[in-house]
């Protein structure tokens, strides 16, 4: 295969890779997904990653139909990379892409969940030993020697279940022999010169050569030193020089006497000639000994080659699966159920947004209560569904549990300032607790009510499942899709923005294959009247194409009548806390139109206004809203002056 046939490799990139790596090595780096190798060759890591995603992921990357979908995908990979145990594992995570077959998804899930379960059962000391082994592996640039020594460390730690089984099957004695042999060479893979400690005789010869070279460099000083010791004639000088060589070097008396010339003209000639001969003899002896020892060690490596290759592959694969397992444990991720055939569904029970939830550490902290956000606030999980889902009444009750007193219960919340709202009635407890099986929903509700977060959560669940990874929910059903259209809110009335948005969200619906539409406040990119018409058309097109979709909007009333295959869901704000923070039940209420809550926002602005003029302006807005809740807040604010 030619390098130019890989996506993103043009003439200039090909020239760089061939120049630095050679054609075969460059192709091997691309096929194996080796970001580090391509980066070392001179490619920017981002470009190398993009090339490898296409090369190793194939058509799966085409699932990401919009720039926002691609951004969400990259954000997920960044979160997973934080739990990588090696740089190589981090690079391999970065090139993971959505998979194109359920078999591939299930296979990767099997590996990751097996690693998760094995890691979860390890004692703290064993976990630390494994992580320390991989840290050393990383520090040694993931060489063959480092891989073999890491495999030995894993054997020593006694980990032998799940992904560690491949290492547990290796012969310890063979790996020990291989590690000793590999450590004897300066370069990886049994190449290069032998290092000190590889062979005692070789070390002795090298030490002797070093001493002789030092003497040769300081021959005149040596002669003066011998003369200062009282040497007078040639015989005494010869004997003193011989004794000095034997005491200062590891050469034998026979080597010294054979090196001494018989025709030297003076002391300088005698010493210099002897040392030059010794240098030559020792160099030849070193080369001969090194060749002999290296041959023996390379023979040992050849005998252990299968075990070495298995160790390299096993250690590398374990690093990847262990990294993903730690990510899954940190966010308490579970196995999704795939729904295929004529049925299509996306459903989650107690799903958590990974961007908001704080990860647990390796100490097995349970995240099922939703976890904590960066500010320490509890993250409320949500239950939601589209299509032919399998949610039950029990799931609906779980989803309505909410967080804190009065949230999600359909009761009235009264704060210390008297601000609250009665949620009983048509938009509260009487709303359907179990979502219908419509494939399309229009999500409405409170400002800052978590509608966008719900879209992001659904997007995260579908992306992770499509990559064959566990998802952050108690349970989830996912139909793999060919196109994921995720569109965040972009506030601009620019005609170019509207055109580019339509060009990105409509073609996936018009093409063959299954599509998931997650569209946030489409009305933000054009005037409300036109936005309602266009959004109604998008909802209708989504229904007609048998796609799945959630459309967030504040224009629900303007979309009527919706197709019967679509429903309207709502998220409700339920009041203000004593600290005047907005209390929101983030769990949507199904078949119920949510309501924006400007009265709560204005109430908070009035109560928090320090400047008298500003407060007067906010009071005017509050009176314009005309809600009793605002009036009570205004009364409290005036009373406190």
Identify the bridge partners of residue 589 per DSSP, sorted by sequence position: 570
Give residue-wise pLDDT tens across range 309-323. Answer: 999 999 999 999 999
The pLDDT value given to residue 431: 53
Please report where in the chains the tokens 């991989």 appear, as a residue: 134
Give residue-wise pLDDT tens across range 204-226. Answer: 999 999 988 898 888 888 888 88
For residue 475, the surrounding DSSP H or E stretch is strand 475-478
Give residue-wise pLDDT tens across range 74-113. Answer: 999 999 999 999 998 999 999 999 998 999 999 999 999 9
**Residue 58 in tokens:** 């194939």
Between 586 and 188, where is the model more confident?
586
**Residue 164 in tokens:** 């560690």
Q: How far apart are alpha carbons 302 and 506 in whole angstroms?
A: 59
Q: Map residue 268 onto helix, strand or coil.
A: helix
Identify the bridge partners of residue 387 per DSSP, sorted by sequence position: 345
Half-sphere exposure of 152 (CA within 13 A, CB side): 18
Percent of the chain with pLDDT over 70: 88
- 399: left (phi > 0), else alpha (psi -120 to 50), else beta? alpha
| Helix, strand, coil abundance in the chain, percent, nearest 5 | 55, 10, 35
The pLDDT value given to residue 102: 92
Between 631 and 347, where is the model more confident?
347
Highest mean pLDDT among 31-45, 108-122, 498-512: 108-122
Among 3.30.1490.20, 3.40.50.2000, 3.40.50.300, 1.20.120.80, name the CATH number for the domain at 60-65+334-360+379-401+433-596.
3.40.50.300
Beta-strand relationship, 483-487 and 515-520: parallel
425: pLDDT confidence band, cut at 50, 70 and 90? very low
Q: How far apart are alpha carbons 53 and 319 in whole angstroms?
A: 19
448: pLDDT confidence band, cut at 50, 70 and 90? confident
* Contact (CB, 8 A) for 55 and 475: no
Q: How far apart are alpha carbons 5 and 196 in whole angstroms?
A: 46
Q: If you average pLDDT over every residue of the chain, what do you get?
A: 83
The stretch 338-361 carries a mean pLDDT of 88
First to last CA, the chain: 79
Q: How far apart are alpha carbons 382 and 370 in whole angstroms?
A: 9
Q: What's the Cα-to-Cα distance from 268 to each of 229, 239, 273, rounded to whole Å?
A: 17, 15, 8
Q: Which of 299, 377, 396, 390 is nearest to 583 (CA)?
A: 377
Q: How many CB atoms lie within 10 A of CB 343?
A: 13
* Contact (CB, 8 A) for 55 and 6: yes
Residue 64 has pLDDT above 90, yes or no: yes
* Contact (CB, 8 A) for 274 and 260: yes
Residues 6+ apart with CB under 8 A from 302: none
Q: Which of 229-233, 425-429, 521-525, 607-611 has the lowest mean pLDDT?
A: 425-429
Residues 6+ apart with CB under 8 A from 608: 580
Give residue-wise pLDDT tens across range 578-619. Answer: 777 777 888 999 998 887 777 777 877 877 888 888 888 887
The pLDDT value given to residue 635: 52
Identify the bridge partners of residue 443 per DSSP, sorted by sequence position: 552, 569
Beta-strand relationship, 185-187 and 191-194: antiparallel
Residue 409 has pLDDT above 70, yes or no: no
229: pLDDT confidence band, cut at 50, 70 and 90? confident
419: pLDDT confidence band, cut at 50, 70 and 90? very low
The pLDDT value given to residue 140: 83
Residues 6+ apart with CB under 8 A from 372: 357, 358, 378, 379
Highest mean pLDDT among 30-34, 295-299, 497-501, 557-561: 295-299
* Contact (CB, 8 A) for 316 and 142: yes
The pLDDT value given to residue 84: 95
* Contact (CB, 8 A) for 550 and 441: yes
Give residue-wise pLDDT tens across range 251-289. Answer: 888 888 888 988 888 888 888 999 999 999 999 999 999
**Residue 456 in tokens:** 């992001």
Residue 376 has pLDDT above 60, yes or no: no
Highest mean pLDDT among 179-193, 322-336, 354-368: 322-336
Highest mean pLDDT among 188-197, 435-444, 577-586: 435-444
- Burial label for 346, CB within 10 Å (0-12, 13-18, 19+), is buried
Q: How far apart are alpha carbons 574 and 597 in whole angstroms?
A: 9
- Burial label for 345, CB within 10 Å (0-12, 13-18, 19+), is buried
The pLDDT value given to residue 469: 97
CA dihedral over 557, 559, 562, 568, signed as positive or negative: negative
The stretch 508-523 carries a mean pLDDT of 88
């Amino acid at each position: 295969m030619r390098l130019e046939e890989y996506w993103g490799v043009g003439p200039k990139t090909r020239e760089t890779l061939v120049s630095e790596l050679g054609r075969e090595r460059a192709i091997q780096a691309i096929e194996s997904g080796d970001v580090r190798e391509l980066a070392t060759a001179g490619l920017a890591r981002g470009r190398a990653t993009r090339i490898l995603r296409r090369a190793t992921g194939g058509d799966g990357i085409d699932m990401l139909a919009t720039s926002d979908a691609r951004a969400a995908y990259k954000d997920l990979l960044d979160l997973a990379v934080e739990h990588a145990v090696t740089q190589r594992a981090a690079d391999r995570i970065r090139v993971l892409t959505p998979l194109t077959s359920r078999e591939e998804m299930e296979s990767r899930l099997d590996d990751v969940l097996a690693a998760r379960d094995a890691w979860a059962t390890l004692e703290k000391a064993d976990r630390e030993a494994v992580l320390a082994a991989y840290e050393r592996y990383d520090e040694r640039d993931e060489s063959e020697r480092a891989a073999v020594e890491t495999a030995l460390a894993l054997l020593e730690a006694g980990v032998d279940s799940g992904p560690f089984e491949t290492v547990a099957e290796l012969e310890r004695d063979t790996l020990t022999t291989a590690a000793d042999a590999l450590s004897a060479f300066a370069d990886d893979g049994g190449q290069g010169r032998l290092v000190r400690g590889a062979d005692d005789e070789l070390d002795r010869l090298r030490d002797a050569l070093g001493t002789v070279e030092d003497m040769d460099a300081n021959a005149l000083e040596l002669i003066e030193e011998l003369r200062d010791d009282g040497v007078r004639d040639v015989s005494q000088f010869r004997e003193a020089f011989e004794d000095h060589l034997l005491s200062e070097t590891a050469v034998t008396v026979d080597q010294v006497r054979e090196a001494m010339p018989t025709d030297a003209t003076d002391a300088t000639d005698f010493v210099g000639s002897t040392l030059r001969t010794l240098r030559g003899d020792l160099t030849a002896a070193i080369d001969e000994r090194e060749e002999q020892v290296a041959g023996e060690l390379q023979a040992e490596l050849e005998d252990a080659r299968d075990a070495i290759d298995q160790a390299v592959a096993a250690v590398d694969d374990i690093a990847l699966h262990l990294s993903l397992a730690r990510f899954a444990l940190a966010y308490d991720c579970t196995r999704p159920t795939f729904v295929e055939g004529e049925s299509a569904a996306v459903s989650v029970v107690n799903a958590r947004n990974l961007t908001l939830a704080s990860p647990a550490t390796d100490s097995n902290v349970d995240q099922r209560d939703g976890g904590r956000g960066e500010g320490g606030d509890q993250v409320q999980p949500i239950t939601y569904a589209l299509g032919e889902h399998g949610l039950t009444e029990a799931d609906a009750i779980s989803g309505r549990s909410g967080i804190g007193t009065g949230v999600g219960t359909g009761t009235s919340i009264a704060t210390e300032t008297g601000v609250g709202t009665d949620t009983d009635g048509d938009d509260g407890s009487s709303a359907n607790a179990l979502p219908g099986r419509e494939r399309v929903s229009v999500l409405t509700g409170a400002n800052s009510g978590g509608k966008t977060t719900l879209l992001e959560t659904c997007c995260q669940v579908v992306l992770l499942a499509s990559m064959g990874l566990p998802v952050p929910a108690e349970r989830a059903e996912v139909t793999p899709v060919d196109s994921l259209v995720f569109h965040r809110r972009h506030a601009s009335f620019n005609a170019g923005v509207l055109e580019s948005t339509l060009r990105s969200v409509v073609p996936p619906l018009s093409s063959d294959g299954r599509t998931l539409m997650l569209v946030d406040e489409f009305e933000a990119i054009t005037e409300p009247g036109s936005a309602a018409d266009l959004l109604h058309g998008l909802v209708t097109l989504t229904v007609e194409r048998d796609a799945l979709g959630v459309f967030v909007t504040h224009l629900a009333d303007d979309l009527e009548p919706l197709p019967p295959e679509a429903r309207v869901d709502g998220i409700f704000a339920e009041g203000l806390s004593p600290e005047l923070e907005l209390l929101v039940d983030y769990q949507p209420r199904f078949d119920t139109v949510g309501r924006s809550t400007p009265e709560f926002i204005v109430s908070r602005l009035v109560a928090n206004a320090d400047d008298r003029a500003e407060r007067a302006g906010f009071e005017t807005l509050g009176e314009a809203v005309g809600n009793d809740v605002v009036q009570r807040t205004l009364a409290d604010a005036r009373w406190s002056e």
